Amino acid sequence: MEFKNEPIRDFSLEKERSAIRSALDSIPKSLPFKIPISIGTKEKYSEKRIYHKNPWNPELLVTEVSLSNANDLEEAIQISKKNWRHWKEQPQEVRSHLLMKVAENLISKKDLIISVCIWETGKHITEAELEFAEAVDFCRYYAMTALEKLSPKKTILLGEDNLYYYQPKGIVGCISPWNFPMAIYTGMCVGPLVVGNIVLSKPAEETTATAYEIAKCFWEVGVPKEVFHFLPGLGSEIGEAIVNHPEVSVINFTGSRDVGLSILRSASVVLPKQSLIKKVICELGGKNAMIVDADSDLDVAIQSILTSAFGFQGQKCSALSRLFVHENCYQKLKERLVDAMEGLLVGTPLDFSNRIGPVIHKESFLRLSQIQKENESFLVGKTSWVPDEGFYIAPSLYEPPSESSMWSSEIFGPLLAMQKISSFSEGIQLVNDSDYALTCGVVSRNPKHVLDAKSKIDAGNLYINRGMTGAIVNRHPFGGGKLSGTGAKAGGPDYLYLFVEGKTFTENTMRQGFSRDTIQ
């Protein structure tokens, strides 16, 4: 079977808009979503809960989330140990078939899941559609990759039979982020599940309802609840408990640099009763740059900058944050970019004509507002109108000095720093002058410069003459180096190897006679 990416709907068509509009409009009557803990076949609600409010209408409560704790984790692990053998000994064809059915179940609930995501995050409808397709792609791609890449390999010689095969590593803790609650949550869980592991899923506090709707799509088609648990809660509580449990063999984490490095430190300590070395998979963000060359097509450059820096309000680990523009086109591009930013429509994602929505919550709003205030003297231009109500941050362009933290710290918002360069080689040097190496964009019509970029830029994903966000499964395996992560390439052919270990059987077949039992 050939893998094909899930198609994207065209929301310029009225029939597509009306379908999703109906689902979006139905959500408020179901609010707040009350999210349980799911351990094996048991679901329960805890007394201790957290709450998430709608980002464009902060008076509206979207989710009421039960908080799991260390006792819940221990119960999930004991249930998993009793049921793991049956799951891991299923033929790969059976597990892959189940995950293909998950993809179809997701598609059957597409409008509901996308609508829940929008009400939790404030994501634009097109961004949400793209993300949902990625979630479906992860299910299909990993199911097919497991069959293709992880089949046992035999080597038969005269007098010797050899078998190399893969077995699952055991219990995998999946701690996922809020900014891609459909795609990343799904991909982080599908990978270990399809090769026979136990998954303890800990979704982000802000997007638990989206993750819960997706988890139900797994259980409904037959993925056993005894091997796929749902443990919502705080990272500082249940997340930390998962990381430190001696029987959790793999930590699969996407999130902030500080938390990721803390996980790596914790996992390096072998605790009492621990008989394994934990594997840690981290994707930790970026400080991503784009170079606009002297001969660039400025139409391509402007469109690439707008989508890369301000799509989903800059709340992507891949988002453009540092812009280096050749002096020959610097002033012209800056003027056009400021004009284009003024034309960005900011407001609720329920109005499909808007392109920029709110940031995720009050904490992000206050943090980004403070950065704007501190860098006000370096402001070049910004979108002048934003709604008064809601957590809206105006897309903004700055020319900060070289010592500014805007050049080094991950911002995670629609704030872009811009600098003039005298040569393409200077641009490459500035791009690489970072602790991160996740994504990078290059806009150039010079073949030599494009070749230099490919060979010299430190980035896990390099995008040329296009936007630098929106990695597509199979086509753009995603992940970076340096402090951007441990190098896992999600959506690529090697990802599943992170959740298995190889085992070798070698047998001497030159027997000297037979045992008595075989000839009776």
Phi, psi of 392 (to 5 degrees): -95, 135
Residue 8 lies in a domain: no
Buried/exposed 166-176: b ≥16 CB within 10 Å, e otherwise = bebbbbbbbbb
- Going by C-alpha positions, the residue among 321, 281, 343, 494 that lies closest to residue 404 is 321
- For the purposes of burial, counting CB atoms within 10 Å of the CB of 90, is it exposed (0-12), middle (13-18) or buried (19 or more)? middle
d(CA 31, CA 33): 5
In angstroms, how far is CA 112 from the centroid of its own chain?
Answer: 20
Which structural domain range is residue 422 located in?
289-464
Annotated catalytic residue: which of 6, 226, 283, 410?
A: 283
Residue 163 sits in the same domain as residue 272: yes
283 a catalytic residue: yes
Residue 450 lies in a domain: yes
Residue 373 sits in the same domain as residue 280: no
Per-residue pLDDT, 481: 95
- Token pair recorded at residue 520: 């009776």
* Beta strand spans in 169-259 (E): 171-175, 198-202, 228-230, 248-254
- Token pair recorded at residue 41: 């076949």
- Going 326 to 329 to 334 to 339, the CA torsion angle's sign is negative
| Residues whose CB falls within 8 Å of the CB of residue 447, separated by 6 or more in sequence, listed in order | none
* Adjacent-strand bridge partners of 441: 290, 463
Residue 177 sits in the same domain as residue 280: yes
Residue 90 lies in a domain: yes
Annotated catalytic residue: which of 139, 282, 317, 440?
A: 317
Residue 372 sits in the same domain as residue 490: no
User: Which pLDDT tens digit goes with each residue over 102-158?
Assistant: 999 999 999 999 999 999 999 999 999 999 999 999 999 999 999 999 999 999 999
Per-residue pLDDT, 253: 98
Residue with tokens 């920029």: 356
Residue 373 sits in the same domain as residue 273: no
Residue 419 lies in a domain: yes
Residue 105 lies in a domain: yes
Residue 252 lies in a domain: yes
* Beta strand spans in 30-182 (E): 33-35, 37-39, 42-44, 49-53, 61-66, 153-157, 160-168, 171-175
d(CA 127, CA 434): 28
- Going by C-alpha positions, the residue among 176, 186, 182, 61 that lies closest to residue 115 is 182
Residue 33 sits in the same domain as residue 129: yes
d(CA 346, CA 356): 5
Domains in the chain, number: 2
User: Which pLDDT tens digit goes with each residue over 446-503?
Assistant: 999 999 999 999 999 999 999 999 999 999 999 999 999 998 899 999 999 999 999 9
d(CA 145, CA 149): 6
| Residues whose CB falls within 8 Å of the CB of residue 364, separated by 6 or more in sequence, listed in order | 315, 391, 412, 413
| Residues whose CB falls within 8 Å of the CB of residue 28, separated by 6 or more in sequence, listed in order | 60
Residue 349 sits in the same domain as residue 204: no
317 a catalytic residue: yes
Length reported for the chain: 520
- Going edge to edge, which strands form the sheet with 49-53? 33-35, 61-66, 49-53
Residue 390 sits in the same domain as residue 376: yes
Q: Mean pLDDT by 10-residue block, N- to C-terminus, for the chain (520 residues)?
A: 94 91 96 98 97 98 98 98 96 98 98 98 97 98 97 94 97 98 98 98 98 98 98 97 98 97 96 94 96 97 98 97 98 98 97 96 98 97 96 98 96 98 98 97 98 98 97 97 94 98 94 68
8 Å CB contact between 314 and 469: no
Per-residue pLDDT, 1: 80
Per-residue pLDDT, 517: 72
Hey, how many other C-beta atoms are within 10 angstroms of the C-beta on 419?
Answer: 19
Residue 328 sits in the same domain as residue 433: yes
Residue 479 lies in a domain: no
Residue 474 lies in a domain: no
Residue with tokens 């076949």: 41
Residue 121 sits in the same domain as residue 77: yes
8 Å CB contact between 488 and 283: yes
Which CATH number characterizes residue 81's domain? Answer: 3.40.605.10
* 3-state class (DSSP) for residue 366: helix
Q: Per the omega criterion (within 30 degrees of 0), is the bond before 32 cis?
A: yes
Hey, how many other C-beta atoms are within 10 angstroms of the C-beta on 288?
Answer: 30
Residue 97 sits in the same domain as residue 141: yes
d(CA 288, CA 195): 33
Residue 293 sits in the same domain as residue 232: no
Which CATH number characterizes residue 446's domain? Answer: 3.40.309.10
Per-residue pLDDT, 487: 86
**In Å, how far are 114, 355, 385, 428 from 131, measured between CA atoms?**
9, 16, 28, 30
Global pTM value: 0.96
Per-residue pLDDT, 518: 65
